Structure 1
């Protein structure tokens, strides 16, 4: 496709385009690979195509009258009940934080309206796609690129004097570690467990600007032998490579987390690290497709699955390699790029019609 004929606008999560994973792991990286020219979009300008992220003010962009809209909706907001308290307050929170100009309390309904306006809605799981289809007929599933964060995968699977577990994510998701607090404490009575947390050293608990919190203090309440590493693109691979087992506990009672995609498992696998994870649909599907059995349904299974990896170097190695081979085959940079290519083939068809 000749992209040079298209004037493309992009509404980013962060204006610098390089600090938010939802930018550099998705459209921004695709544009770099294909040499696509685009600009940070402005509402008063006319574009052939606008790619909108979850950082956009959808109370405004849904009324955009020009061009084709691609909505990159990677979180499963439509899976949450429209009457859920958090869902009802999210619109107010975005207004108070200055992220939305218009006050709309029901964020679920704001998302629905944006999907209706969009020509294409990109999502990240089958479950999410099913929720979007009533509002948009073109809903491809595209996962993240990991080009900028996967460097020099792990090769040494021998344990030293410590068992290094690693968790990576946003500080707002740290609470999910409480789900495996008891298994971690039990394991620490038998093994020298060291938990490595890769996130921000500080964060705001409310609206992204209030309640400054020290991450180390929060994680010490869950497990006391913990080291917090500042998350950066430059150092994340170094930290993960030095660890033995990755853990991904997920709160499956909350639909926004229950229907998360498998991006995190794929990242750890590409880094050559075995993963133990919660039983949510995307994780269970991915583990099954890779012929691995490290999904946990309760505290007992968390303890057993982690311990089985602690006790066997060969199991850690085989689980890591099986995951890595699967991730690199099915979710390689080329495979993800082809999916974005398919999106722009649809754009070409829509432009002609």
Structure 2
């Protein structure tokens, strides 16, 4: 076992996949000489060379399209987009090409392509560098969307994503890169499907993904001091969404809260809540609650940014509301 930070686990996954398969390439802005904005590709340019670790111009639609074309031709590209905000510039090739080519070709053309990108609010990166766009890709048929919560998941899920024959949107969170966790020295793979019940409980189900999962875990600790047993689910995969795990948990606890850092409208939380209402409405003993960000562009000012996004206390108070304590 070795204790790795989140970014180190991602770097190790890159390294081992590049070593295992000569068809794996890495592309993106500053992924080569600089080693990536968050160090996730550091040292790989020197080890594998400029033909396999490729620094690109600042043109997301162009280099993402090149990566998709390379995947169609038999390579396995990992394309890093520096911030999920900039993925908006590549939506045409991601949605009209990567997501649809396999279906439109009757399965004759596969697109084994991974787009890695950090999202979410870090610390004062302002509105144009703090987007939470998981819902956008989640709504697109033909894409897989995963968002690992920890170094263990980041390593295992990235290795699985590279070997998947579907296009995978791999969403990280900028405040998670320095998270530490023991990761086995031997290689392993984590599934790209299925939510995970990380903490078992009996009184309420808390559901989150990437950073909001950690808020749920911290809130569960606070609730335990109040005598409330919270079950915590990490969604992990947003597309496909594991509705069965959600249903089973809610049928056990009879209460549910969904937490996310995104705005509420037409979001991941909305889809989870729709699942709860459609599939286990009669198991509910209380009105479900969502915790989400304010419907404003993320402010630059630190005090306003703090108010705009949910924190542990928001999740805690939301759970108390579900429990009828406030």
Give the alignment's TM-score, normalised by structure 2.
0.30
Larger radius of gyration between Structure 1 and Structure 2: 1
Structure with the largest fraction of strand: 2
